[in-house]
Amino acid sequence: LTANNYPDLKRNPNFAQVTPEDVKFFQDLLGSASAVIDGVTADASDDLSPFNGDWMNKYRGQSRLLLKPATTEEVSKILKYCNDRKLAVVPQGGNTGLVGGSVPVFDEIILNLSRMNRIESFDERSGVLVADAGVILEVADQYLAERNHLFPLDLGAKGSCHIGGNIATNAGGLRLLRYGSLHGSVLGLEAVLPDGTVVDTLSTLRKNNTGYDLKQLFIGAEGTLGVITKAAVQCPARPKAVNVAYFGFESYEKMCEAFKEAKGRLSEILSAFELMDGRSQRLVGQATGNPLPIEGEYPFYGLVETHGSNGEHDMAKLEEFFEHIMGEGIVADGVLAQDETQFRALWAWREGITETLSHLGGTYKFDVSIPLSDLYRLVDDTLERMTRLGLVGDDDSFPVRTVVGYGHMGDANLHLNIAVRRYSKEVEEALEPWVYEWIKECRGSISAEHGLGLAKKQFIGYSQNDVVLGMMKQLKALYDPNGIMNPYKYI
């Protein structure tokens, strides 16, 4: 437990270490016998193992204390105590984050929100949901489905991630193209500052121009300013008709043309336009043992989804779109899902990529925004660089297995993944900062939707200028003067 997993980082000596008196305080606060087991676990490193390690098995902290508060008041008392004692804290939701932000670096106390999982209210007229931060995204969406509504965010980790974690990372997901960012759909938040102050901006109003929109500070802050405890979210009506199609393309340029046509021809019903390159799809095929949805091999595949209110009308539009892009030679082949089973099967080719890659050894993940015209060139250039450096190959002597690209093309968001047999300095140094320099040159963003966490800590300067960074640091110093909230991460 004393080993330092991060030799380049030093534990901040200003932070106190957890003492038996601290543990007693938390045990008294969080209560009953079952809360002691579930609520406070001290000195039991085995129990804490899943909370100390991240989803990718890449980051691991050494926390000895896990707190699971059940109310905002408990969060407030915990933070006030930690702030007074200078005990560092890492907020944790479903622990599905992909940048090492949700786990401790050293011995920070893990404040896990999973017991704050109550849906408070839903107004069918306005579509506004008010819920605790620890509600699992899929649970919120199922609750809404029973009321003919939809959570405005969907992503592959929906079965585990929390809406608080989604908001803290400003997650984008599969349908941002249609339902927009959480900066728009979160109407209000309740959050607790490090000194224990409860910030109530839990408005359920769509329009509210009364000074600074302070809730926005917490959206995407990755737990560095405070703990989100509740959210009011604007939820759209659940579409009555949902269709999905899967296409093969001969080139990236053809796929860009198809996107342009989809926006024009499917317009108001277009809900997702996703890109998967041929290598990513062959990997999913190998992992599942399933044949690809269409015959023949293509360098690019696309998944197009529509959400609308009239099945016949939407299918007619989708068929017309399909005929047009086939007729013009934009698409090489494609298939439309005919029922729910096929719908799920086609989405699995897109959503299954992340999990497939996670079983291959390791992945260097770059979640970036790049103007569409240049988007896929980054994958080609990365593969070319890895090949030139002699790092990629079919047998075990090469650290890199392959380089794949996929992502939310409709949002110009690429996921560049370098699948490795093992993590190594050699590969890391070949990629960083080279990838970030590449992105800076075309004025892209080094983090489109996953955040910065620990993974991109040193590289924020590639996407933000000194003035903006200075303002971020001022805000951090103002609201978290002792720096206890999620330390060692990007700020």
Residues near ligand FAD, by CB under 6 A: 55, 90-98, 101-102, 113, 133, 155-157, 161-162, 164-166, 168-169, 171-174, 222-223, 227-228, 354-355, 449-450, 453, 486
Alpha-carbon gap, residue 404 to 418, rounded angstroms: 7
| Eight-class DSSP state of 396 | T
The residue at minimum Cβ distance from ligand MLT is 354
Q: Which listed option, ligand FAD, ligand MLT, none, makes contact with residue 415 (CB within 5 to 8 Å by class)?
A: ligand MLT
Polymer length in residues for the chain: 491
**357 vs 376: CA distance, rounded Å:** 19
Q: Could you say which of 76, 166, 354, 486 contacts ligand MLT (CB under 6 A)?
A: 354
Asked if 308 and 270 touch (Cβ cutoff 8 Å), the reply is no
Count residues near ligand MLT (CB under 6 A): 6
Nearest residue (CB) to ligand MLT, 230 versus 415: 415
Helices H, strands E: what count in the chain? 16, 16
Q: Count Cβ atoms below 10 Å from residue 234 Cβ, excluding itself.
A: 20
Does the footprint of ligand MLT cover residue 402 (CB under 6 A)? no
Q: Which residue has tokens 């992502």?
A: 407
Q: Which is nearer to ligand FAD, 322 or 488 (CB)?
A: 488
Q: 3-state DSSP call for residue 242? A: strand
Could you say whether residue 415 binds ligand MLT (CB under 6 A)?
yes
Q: Which of 212, 209, 191 is nearest to 479 (CA)?
A: 191
Among 156, 226, 239, 453, binds ligand MLT (CB under 6 A): 156
Residue whose C-alpha is closest to residue 314's, from 275, 370, 271, 273: 271
* Binding partner of residue 22 among ligand MLT, ligand FAD, none, CB cut-off 5 to 8 Å per kind: none
Q: Count CA atoms closer than 13 A to 423's CA, side-chain side.
A: 9
Determine which residue in the list 367, 414, 486, 489 makes contact with ligand MLT, applying CB under 6 A.
367
Q: In whole angstroms, what is the distance from residue 145 CA to residue 237 CA?
A: 9
Nearer to ligand FAD, 332 or 446 (CB): 446
Output the smallest distance, CB 332 to ligand FAD, in A. Answer: 26
Q: How far apart are CA 214 and CA 199, in angstroms?
A: 9
How many beta carbons lie within 10 A of that of residue 142, not counting itself?
12
Minimum CB–partner distance for residue 2 and ligand FAD (Å): 24
Q: Which residue's CB is nearer to ligand MLT, number 215 or number 415?
A: 415
> Minimum distance from CB of 297 to ligand FAD (Å)?
26
Residue number with CB closer to ligand FAD (91 or 334): 91
Contact 190, 230 (CB under 8 A): yes
Query: Of 156 and 220, which has the nearer Cβ to ligand MLT?
Result: 156
- Residue 318 or 446: which CB sits closer to ligand FAD? 446
Q: How far is the CB of 367 from ligand MLT (least distance, A)?
A: 6
Closer of 182 and 379 to ligand FAD (Cβ): 182
With contact defined as beta carbons under 8 Å apart, do 393 and 452 qualify? no
Binds 177: which of ligand MLT, ligand FAD, none (CB < 5-8 Å by kind): none
Q: With beta carbons less than 8 A apart as the criterion, state whether 322 and 334 touch.
A: yes
| E strand segments, 118-195 | 119-123, 128-132, 186-192
Nearest approach, Cβ of residue 50 and ligand MLT (Å): 20
> Which position's Cβ is nearest ligand FAD?
165
Residue 65 sits at φ, ψ, to 5 deg, of: -135, 125
What does 113 interact with, of ligand MLT, ligand FAD, none (CB < 5 to 8 A by kind)? ligand FAD
What residue ranges bind ligand MLT (CB under 6 A)? 156, 354, 365, 367, 407, 415
